[in-house]
Copies of this chain bind each other. A is one copy, B any other.
Amino acid sequence: MINVIKKYDSEKMLQLVVKIYKAYGFSSADSKKIAHTLIYTDMHGIESHGVQRMTMYDKFIQNGKIKINSTPEIVKETTVSAVIDAHFGIGQLNGIYSMNLAIKKAKEHGVGIVTTKKSSHYGIAGFYANMAAEQGLIGMSSTNSRPGMVPTNSTQPFVGTNPIGFAMPAQPHNFILDFATTTVPQGKIEVYRKLGKDFPEFWVAKDGIDPIYDHTNDQDLDLLRVPKSNVGLTPLGGVSELTGGHKGFGLGIIVEIFTSILSQGDISSEIDGSNPEVGPCQSFIAIDPDIFGNKEAIIARFSDYLQEIRELPAVAGRTIYVHGDKEQLSYLDAKENGINIDDVTISEIKSIATRLGVAFNEYLS
């Protein structure tokens, strides 16, 4: 079967997603927050982490890994920091709560560092980083995750794909860098498999050094989710130190420090996807540029710097984008023409809606 991508109205999709989360038992306000993060993600062109993820969340809600009635609890706090136990609430709500706390501390004391344990998958790191940038602050967020990355010279995935989101206010739109510390995130592999496309580069390693390109190699690719298997994602920089693979591996460890190590939560290698007493950890940092100088002048100079990059000589036929540009173009297009969702994802959402008694056809058809 060929998996076709079609356009859907973002506002109608948002309403459907709100309805689904309300049907799970989340409050109306919380359902809107969750749906907003998912639709925001699709509108910004990161389809691997938008409504495509609802099937995984559905599974976690079903098996109790995500607890609908949990609320985040501050278990340690200073003027510039906090540790939060999220009691396995849904990652999006934990993330919004935690980043808002970091933002509050940054506005009051210049810096806020919040680390949150016993959370669940929270979507894209860049969403939370950008919450700070929307308030005129530098924002950073990261999460650990199930073992996905094969450390340099090892055969076994151990470090999570551990993405980092970073945002800084800029004109005409914020600088937003959001990247897995692996060459590509797990979600990108899933999207390629759904779309029936082979992997164009050395994204997946078997036994630490052999590339897998074939998207139909289910026997090996299904091991990406199996603990202690011999199939994993390459670190940013590849599998060799000569191409800098140890740098991506090291960035993955830094994320582990700010998430699980400082929060004293569960390390990536402990997250096996089934134990309901184990969950990912996330970090949220906000910094007020005002503590270094005039915020408007700093942002104006940064915006000029980014514009200089955009206007550098380009490789023939290519465009130089700075981080956030493509996402902004996607967003403007999505507002006008709708979001891109593939048929497999649509049928998955339809089946969730049907099970929960939500009238899918009232919103989409």
Q: Which residues from chain A sit less than 8 Å from chain B, CB to CB?
A: 76, 78-81, 83, 109-111, 113, 115, 138, 151-156, 158-159, 166, 168, 175, 177, 179, 183-184, 200-202, 207-209, 230, 236-238, 240, 242-244, 246-248, 250-251, 253-254, 256-257, 261-264, 267, 269, 287, 289, 291-293, 297-298, 301-302, 305-306, 308-309, 312-315, 318-323
Contacts and interface: CB of A to CB of B under 8 A. Distances in A.
B253 A244 contact: no
Nearest to A115: B292
Contacts of A256: 305
A174 to B, nearest CB: 12
Contact of A244 (B183, B289, B308, B320): B183
9 closest cross-chain pairs (CB), A and B: A177-B250, A153-B318, A262-B292, A154-B312, A81-B291, A179-B247, A208-B315, A201-B242, A153-B320
A48 to B, nearest CB: 15
A53 to B, nearest CB: 21
Nearest to A77: B291
Nearest to A237: B236
A104 to B, nearest CB: 15
B240 A237 contact: no
A109 B80 contact: yes
B308 A269 contact: yes
A190 to B, nearest CB: 17
Contact of A154 (B243, B254, B305, B313): B313
Given A154-B313, A264-B301, A322 B253 contact: yes
B292 A154 contact: no
A264 B292 CA distance: 8
30 contacts: A76-B292, A78-B110, A81-B111, A138-B257, A152-B321, A153-B315, A154-B314, A154-B315, A155-B313, A155-B314, A168-B257, A177-B247, A177-B254, A183-B243, A202-B243, A208-B314, A236-B236, A236-B237, A236-B247, A237-B237, A246-B323, A253-B322, A253-B323, A256-B305, A257-B302, A261-B298, A262-B289, A262-B293, A264-B297, A264-B301
A305 B76 CA distance: 23
A45 to B, nearest CB: 13
Contact of A312 (B156, B242, B315): B156
A318 B238 CA distance: 16
B292 A263 contact: yes
A152 to B, nearest CB: 7
